Structure 1
């Protein structure tokens, strides 16, 4: 694989849904199982309704928390009127990771064909924290983790990965 040692990151999982509860949050459970199996740390978990301000507030809270390196949300990325997770994420982003949605669509297309066009998965950075918004289905969470986030959150992944640039995400906030 590589000569680099694995570096665990601290990940918060947010499920956005008006109908799910902690007892039936299969998408959140999928993400937790994947990240823990990979050797990462679940630093926080929450479930919120489809409310743009509440979602953005939780994202900001976690971005300010030293115990959170990455936030992955699931749900609210579709096209219906209640789907506001993408807008909430963009309210918080300092920088958007433009290719994240494109790469996610490519990964999704291999599984669900042209239905992948209905996802608005997004990624960005705020306050030195990575933020990713995924669709609310367990299969989409598996596909996103296995095909994109898992490799990019693994310091051993070459030629480059998200973990190796984490120390520089907030360099613009430091004094010169």
Structure 2
């Protein structure tokens, strides 16, 4: 876990790595645990980085089912982050983004922008077809990624591995986790 955090930013030697608990949700009418390649990519990447797999599930392309699973994990103190894969496209069955937005308290608009920039470098203007999104609910970060293994690799390798690493400077999602629900404590 020591050394450089990667080309996007440098690890800070005065900070210890903080493993966080990440759940992986695959949205698909056809995937099974045996052929969930995108879910496998995310699990391999997050555990390889030293984080903990807090849960893993596959749900159908159904807005209510997706939102229900997101809410369940947001209510679970053992889950800090949920990363979903699949259902972010433009077809009629692609309802993951809408389900995420049903759950969000705040959307992280720049996540979609940064993901589009990363994707543009890999797949050119086809990046316009992705509706990747990120947000926060009940103190839990939620990210919706496309269903391709390549998109999951890009999102993790170029964005999430840095933002989910407490050592990353100048700032990261982990360092503000304790403050995500501070508005609730003021009442």
Segments of 4+ in structure 1 off by > 4 A?
Answer: none
Q: Which residue of 2 aligns with 1:124?
A: 135
Q: Which residue of 2 aligns with 1:104?
A: 115
Q: CA offset at residue 102 of structure 1? A: 0.4
* In structure 2, distance between residues paired with 1:158 and 1:77: 30
Q: Which residue of 1 aligns with 2:8?
A: none
Q: Which residue of 2 aligns with 1:43?
A: 54
* In structure 2, distance between residues paired with 1:126 and 1:85: 15
Q: CA offset at residue 64 of structure 1? A: 0.2
Q: Which residue of 1 aligns with 2:180?
A: 169
Q: CA offset at residue 173 of structure 1? A: 1.3
Q: CA offset at residue 19 of structure 1? A: 1.0
Q: Which residue of 2 aligns with 1:73?
A: 84
Q: Number of aligned residue pairs: give it.
A: 176
**For the aligned residues, what is the CA RMSD?**
0.6
Q: Which residue of 1 aligns with 2:125?
A: 114
Q: CA offset at residue 18 of structure 1? A: 0.7
Q: Structure 2: where are the runs of 5+ without partners?
A: 1-10
Matched, 1:151 2:162: yes
Q: Structure 1: where are the runs of 5+ without partners?
A: none
Matched, 1:63 2:69: no
TM-score (norm. length: structure 1): 0.99
Q: CA offset at residue 133 of structure 1? A: 0.1
* In structure 2, distance between residues paired with 1:157 and 1:171: 23
- Give a deviation string over 1:41-90, Cα, whole Å, max 9, x none: 00000000000000000000000000000000000000000000000000
More helix per residue: 1
- Give 1:31's match in structure 2, choosing from 22, 42, 46: 42
